[in-house]
Amino acid sequence: MSEHTASYYAATANDDIRHPQLTEDINVDVCVIGGGFTGISSALHLAERGYDVVLLEGERVGWGASGRNGGQICTAYNKSMNTIEKLVGKDGAQAMWDVEVDSKNMIRERVERHNIDCDLRWGYLHAAAKPSHMGWVNDTHEEWERYGYTDTAVYDKQRLEAHLQSKIYHGALWENNAGHLHPLNYALGLARAAKEAGVRIFEDSRVLTLDKGPTVSVKTDKGSVRAKFLVAAGNAYLGNMIPKLYRRVMPVGSFIVATEPLGAERASALIANNDAVSCTNNIVDYYRLSSDGRMLFGGRANYSGYEPSDLFAAVRPRMLNVFPQLADARLHYAWGGNLAITLDRLPHVGSMDGNIFFAHGYSGHGVAHTGICGKLIAQAIAGTAEQFDVMAKIRHQPFPGGPIRTPMLALGMLYYKMRDYLS
């Protein structure tokens, strides 16, 4: 029986429900592969529309990036809206902005509607790691205002230090409609809602073969599913099951440590308003406080495919660079996992063969975008694909290099790491 990776999230999960392994042959309307945010969201929305849905998870619900990430709910995309306008036009960019706004509203609505206990908090600081990065802060602030997002503010260094007890930053962009949550508890809560809506969830049911056609057929170790439609929602863990998709995303390792509980006074002194924080470097540090007053600090993105032998030692220096006052704080947890990036750092959403739908490659913005992309997939299957088609309009190129793409990307990111260091 599979277990969640040992992490702070797994240790504080508020639901340990086990779903059965698939041991029969089933015929359904839709088969969803992947028990993370995208898969569960797709399944939930489809079930609410009356579809008969089976969800297959190779490990446990929330086992992958959905249950291991930093919990940051981010605004917009991993590219500027100006860049997106050049790809899809002004109307398309406005549609993608509307999708992004809906993505965060959906989190708020789901938590309230399904009574999901996941420590949801709002407030986000984008901290400028270099003086030159204040240009990005100001440009992004102006860009978001053009799209009607005005619940934001630019902080200079002095104002930022009243909110964040670190001396290394030069200012920040603050926003109110982004934030953080406990991602595993959110995933488990969504799965509970999906099950209540009629979705049949099977864990320890890794898909071994996929046969395309008017009816899609997948086989697991002990069962099979035949479906009119298939949703591929494995993201960084989908593997080479669908080569066209595999070539267009790259798994990237990211690692997090959690300190001991710091006490309410010390914790609130570090981040006064309990905002989520990330920096503006190419190799991003991201961090926040947990509900029990721990510092959860993530970073040290790994593009080589290898996990550091000592995660505590790998991440701790980055945390102390930001918060040297935590030198005496013990680290209780360290864990890692893969997220998926695309070559252009925008989500890869689309369909193939008329009955296979997918969304992946969120490039660090998955907590927000996975949910709305699941909804868009459900709408597309039901025949309403206006917003889905806007996302699918972006043409994603495969990563170059074929079998050596991982070392090539690692070399490329070493260049950006050196740029962070030298600038």
Residue 402 has pLDDT above 80, yes or no: no
Q: Is the pLDDT of residue 257 over 50?
A: yes
Amino acid 409: pLDDT:
53
First CA to last CA across the chain, in angstroms?
48
pTM of the model: 0.94
pLDDT over threshold 60, residue 405: no
Q: 281 CB contacts (<8 Å, ≥6 apart)?
A: 129, 130, 420
**Predicted local distance difference test score (pLDDT) of residue 307:** 84
> Average pLDDT for residues 186-204, to the nearest whole number?
98
Tokens matching residue 137: 């802060």
pLDDT for the residue 415: 46
Separation CA 398–CA 250 (nearest Å): 9
Q: In terms of Cα–Cα distance, which of 198, 205, 213, 209 is closest to 356?
A: 213
Instruction: For the chain, give the percent of residues with pLDDT over 90.
Output: 84
What pLDDT, in 10s, does the model give residues 260-269?
Answer: 999 999 999 9
Q: What is the C-alpha R_g of the chain?
A: 21
pLDDT in tens, 96-139: 999 999 999 999 999 999 999 999 999 999 999 999 999 999 99
Can you give the length of the chain in residues?
423
Strands 276-279 and 286-289: antiparallel
Residue 416 pLDDT: 46
236, 249 Cβ separation under 8 angstroms = yes
Least confident of 219-228, 249-258, 373-382: 249-258
CATH numbers and ranges of domains, the chain: 8-69+184-249+344-401 (3.50.50.60)
DSSP-assigned beta bridge partners for residue 333 = 258
> What's the mean per-residue pLDDT of the chain?
94
Taking only the tens place, the pLDDT of each residue in 161-189 is 999 999 999 999 999 999 999 999 999 99
Average of per-residue pLDDT across 7-34: 97
Of 31-35, 58-62, 223-227, 298-302, give the lowest mean pLDDT range.
298-302
Report how far residue 197's alpha carbon sits from residue 45's, in angstroms, rounded to the nearest whole number. Answer: 9
pLDDT at 250 (0 to 100): 87
What is the per-residue pLDDT across 408-418, written as a single tens digit (0 to 9) for each?
Answer: 555 554 544 55
Q: SS3 for 288?
A: strand
Q: For residue 114, give Cα distances in angstroms to 67, 136, 149.
A: 18, 37, 27
